[in-house]
Structure 1
Amino acid sequence: MPHTYNILNHIPADVACLDDYSRYAREHLPDSFWHYINGAGADGISKQRNRQCFADIVLKPLVLSGVQLPDTTCSLFSQQPFKEHHSQPFMLAPVAYQKLCHPDGEIATAQAASAQDVAMVLSTLSSQPLKDVAAFKGAAAQWFQLYIQVEPSATFDLIKKAELAGYSALVITVDALINGLRNAEQRSGFCLPEHISAINIADYQQPTAQSLAQCLAQAPSWQTIKEIKAQTKLPIILKGILSVADALKAQQLGVAGIVVSNHGGRVLDTVASPIEQIAAIRHAVGDDFTLLLDSGIRRGSDIFKALALGANSVLIGRPLMYSLASAGPLGVAHMIRILKDELAFTMAMCGCNNLAEITQDCLQNK
């Protein structure tokens, strides 16, 4: 039996920042849904660390700078023909099963992204067909996130479908070989309702519950990435890299970029926060390699800090679900608008006319 959605058709007057949407989402979502979306791996230490590390970075304001309206446009991928121009240095992350929050799921998100001219990444575990979501693409890019399937033929079939639907990049998640130890989700008894499924992989035979040894035996490797790279003309971004060593391997393999990420703290707990790692990774890979970052971003000032430390752009995950559950596509569009305004405000207060001027000099003691 489908659950009853409790979605507002207006923006609540007391929503002033992204965290305000989490409060409404907690009220509107069934308890088990909330714990699936908001939950983290094990004790949630990495999830908390993600936020604390942003809070610990101190901005250096610059007064009387004469900045007018800052230019937030950015380019991703230095090599042609992949180069893309984006209106903002952030995009919507690939979040699974968005029908948990809204009956239109990922289509509602695509509508909001299109209205705000912001790119989005669609999850393999989308609850709407990838072709249907692509139909709502606006001027901004749509990328497809890939979970590598056990059968190579299924993986290549998914990639082909994404290419035909017009997705312009392939984001391969590499840090979630198995689900994390999501204890809060387990305690709540979460399971997908019958009317929600990973529709894009429904035609492929899915393995039943397996032992850790079986999962690891079937896990992809760097060789798998090489094979995928040989099968697609799309630029490949590897999502879930936290170390300089892995970043250099990815660069040497010839992928177009990486997402420095700890999966929002949802897989292995007590790992480093991406914002702690981004500067060292940027130093190692050089200026021309595309670096994105996710995990813990809740403010426009967080985006600014990530850019100052070396990111080209960032991904927004849980706030997407909070706003979608609260006020549907209107809420997602409003959430995006808040980030745009906060980023522009932070740039102006720090004397930055454009993204190129956001450097480590804008931060204290960095």
Structure 2
Amino acid sequence: MAALTLREYRAEAEGRLPAPVWDFLEGGSGTESMLSAGRAALDRIRLRPRCLVDVSVCDPGVTLLGSRLAAPLGIAPMAYHQLAHPEGEVATARAAGAAGALLTVSIFASRTLEDIAAAASGPLWLQLYWLRRRETLVELVRRAEDAGYQALVLTVDAPRVAYRPRDARNGFAVPGGIRAVNVDAAVMSASHGGAAGESAIARHSKEQFDASITWRDLAWLRERTSLPLVLKGVLAPEDAELAVEYGVDALVVSNHGGRQLDFAIPAADALPEIVDAVGGRCRLILDGSIRYGADIAKALCLGADAVFVGRPALWGLAHSGSAGVADVLRVLLDEFEEVMALMGAPRVGDFGNSGIVHH
């Protein structure tokens, strides 16, 4: 029987996955304060419904960077889906397409870009970290274009991977049977070398991520693709303004699932200032602690165009593969459509700042 809530999927996934893998997927950086801070920020927001509105038909559909979605919902980039299920990102892509949701594929996906695209019936975006070997980025961009991916997502809050105590305690390394198959094995070798008291993921990032890039480097990437460019990990309004100046098409307001800067501002708290800074000049996606359909409504009221959901997709994947991911997305979409009706907001455009109260 399918679980009925995301909380149930989480419990099932924890029981199915090895403890070090679970810690890698669920853990945060430093004190892990951000694992609860993001949820607390959303919980402080209360919804204010309108009544006597015709909600006999509710339409949650949106268009995001040229792609029609069944709802303002996408799956955030996460590495190594095969940690949760043997089919990995292929199963996730199949489920996202069936739900009419966007899938953002990680540079460190454990299935090839081409295999993922072959399984997808919905839009795909490719996420990138800026590696020292730029020829690797160029090759990935070319392959993504050839396979029909529709945007590039550059993660900008991770010049290196932050200290994550669970991974260090476990000496976590990517298991030998799972690889980031879209990147040269020589580039990824450090991520497989476990050592007591050290995270191989963190060691790999220090070795391979280019921490010297600045806003000027975006021009280099722009010259090599015609795909829309999305920046993920923006929390400061000053950076949002710069992103618009540099021609970025969308921003993902995100604190990296609590896995990068400890004690950072939660994404939901950062969003209003960023909305003001961009003034409608680019699209905005809220990423972080989305667990209920009501969270989608809250994000829209704050000014986001869509949300990304992360860990719950992997919970569903660990639970029952593609069917589990599809069920997780269905739970969120069903809850959101109910909120639309009960809020008196039959269209996504009906959500606005008057629909929320900060409690």
Structure 1 length as normaliser, TM-score? 0.91
Shift of 1:240: 0.5
Asked if the contact 1:131/1:165 (under 8 Å) is kept, the reply is yes
1:100-179 counterparts in 2 under 5 A? Answer: 100-138=83-121, 140-179=122-161
Asked if the contact 1:102/1:324 (under 8 Å) is kept, the reply is yes
Which residue, out of 5, 21, 44, partners 1:33?
21
Give me the identity figure in percent: 35
Rate the CA distance shift 1:171–1:211 in 2: closer, same or farther, 3 A. closer
3-state SS of the aligned residue for 1:240?
strand
1:319 and 2:307 matched: no
Q: Which residue identity lines up with residue 124 of structure 1 in the other structure?
A: I
Shift of 1:211: 11
Shift of 1:43: 1.1
Which residue in the other structure is 1:4 paired with? none
3-state SS of the aligned residue for 2:222?
helix
Rate the CA distance shift 1:216–1:338 in 2: closer, same or farther, 3 A. closer
Asked if the contact 1:177/1:215 (under 8 Å) is kept, the reply is no
Q: Which runs of 5+ in 2 are unaligned?
A: 191-201
Rate the CA distance shift 1:22–1:286 in 2: closer, same or farther, 3 A. same
Q: Quote the RMSD (CA, aligned, Å).
A: 1.9
Asked if the contact 2:101/2:123 (under 8 Å) is kept, the reply is yes
3-state SS of the aligned residue for 2:216?
helix
Asked if the contact 1:44/1:265 (under 8 Å) is kept, the reply is yes
Which residue in the other structure is 1:181 paired with? 163
Asked if the contact 1:144/1:171 (under 8 Å) is kept, the reply is yes
Shift of 1:154: 1.3
1:92 and 2:75 matched: yes
Q: Which runs of 5+ in 1 are unaligned?
A: 1-10, 78-82
Rate the CA distance shift 1:233–1:35 in 2: closer, same or farther, 3 A. same
Which residue in the other structure is 1:250 paired with? 243
Rate the CA distance shift 1:216–1:163 in 2: closer, same or farther, 3 A. closer
Once residues 135 and 344 of structure 1 are traced to their aligned partners in structure 2, the CA distance between those partners, rounded to angstroms, is 30
Which residue in the other structure is 2:30 paired with? 42
Which residue in the other structure is 2:199 paired with? none
Rate the CA distance shift 1:190–1:207 in 2: closer, same or farther, 3 A. closer
Asked if the contact 1:69/1:344 (under 8 Å) is kept, the reply is no
RCO comparison, higher one (Cα < 8 Å, 6+): 1
Shift of 1:113: 1.1
Once residues 22 and 124 of structure 1 are traced to their aligned partners in structure 2, the CA distance between those partners, rounded to angstroms, is 25
Which residue, out of 45, 48, 54, partners 1:60?
48
Rate the CA distance shift 1:308–1:321 in 2: closer, same or farther, 3 A. same
Shift of 1:217: 6.7
Q: Which residue identity lines up with residue 74 of structure 2 in the other structure?
A: M
| Alpha-carbon displacement from aligned partner over 1:60-108 (angstroms, at most 9, x marks no partner) | 122332312311111223xxxxx33222101111110000010000001
